Amino acid sequence: MIQPGFTGGTLDRADHLRQDPEAVARAIGDLRARLLVLNGAEPEVDAAGMLGWTSLADAPAAAELILLGLDDGRPRFAAHVPGTRVSAQRSPALFHALDQMRPGEAATYAAARSLIDWHARHGFCPNCGGATTPFKAGWARSCVACGAEHFPRVDPVVIMIAEHEGRALLGRAAACPSGVTRRLRVFSNPANRSRKRSPARSPRKRACASPMCATWRASPGRSPRR
């Protein structure tokens, strides 16, 4: 069976660490921490199909570090340099590198590139125009003027229908007009829940329903950027 592209990532995204500045500081100071090697925004891939990693000491002085996750407890980072942009063009060298990557490596690279691109385009607040600074280990930005928080859309979104004996479970937010219902939706963080667990988790979280089992069918789609 051919594995779909950009799947099978092996990093623990360590969401539980991102809200803890002391834990993030310890990860940065960990001698085992490594920085993803990028040529601009393109990856370095060795003969074995593995991404290149280097010491955090090689990060540019002005770089903002992004905690990609943990590899068997070892911190893995990417670096965004304020003022730089990621080209929208995809070079032949990039396609060649993606073709050479071992399963799971492309998922790590895609997360890093997506986050770096998002930071490059969100240096200023869309709410008031003030400057933004990163927090949550590089997985969010906060406006220094109005305090608005902004988050990237880099995790897959799971939208499901919970069905039982021919009846579907729908939801309605308190702000929705009467009679307006919608399917349940949840962001699926690969670090702590699989695509099979998400359909079972969302009804439990959103509607206090506990399905006995869940099946899934994948369909392509994109979530809106914020």
Q: Quote the pLDDT of residue 9.
A: 81
104-117: average pLDDT: 92
Would the pTM count as exceeding 0.85? no
Report which of residues 159 and 96 the model is more confident about: 96
**Percent of all residues in the chain with a pLDDT value above 90, rounded to a whole number:** 45
Average pLDDT across the chain, whole number? 81
pLDDT tens sequence across 175-195:
777 777 777 665 555 544 555
pLDDT tens sequence across 115-160:
999 999 999 999 999 999 999 999 999 999 999 999 997 766 666 6
190-206: average pLDDT: 56
Asked if pLDDT for residue 212 goes beyond 50, the answer is: no
Asked if pLDDT for residue 95 goes beyond 70, the answer is: yes
Q: Quote the pLDDT of residue 168.
A: 79
Q: pLDDT-based confidence at 86, cuts 50/70/90?
A: confident
107 with 69: CB under 8 angstroms?
no
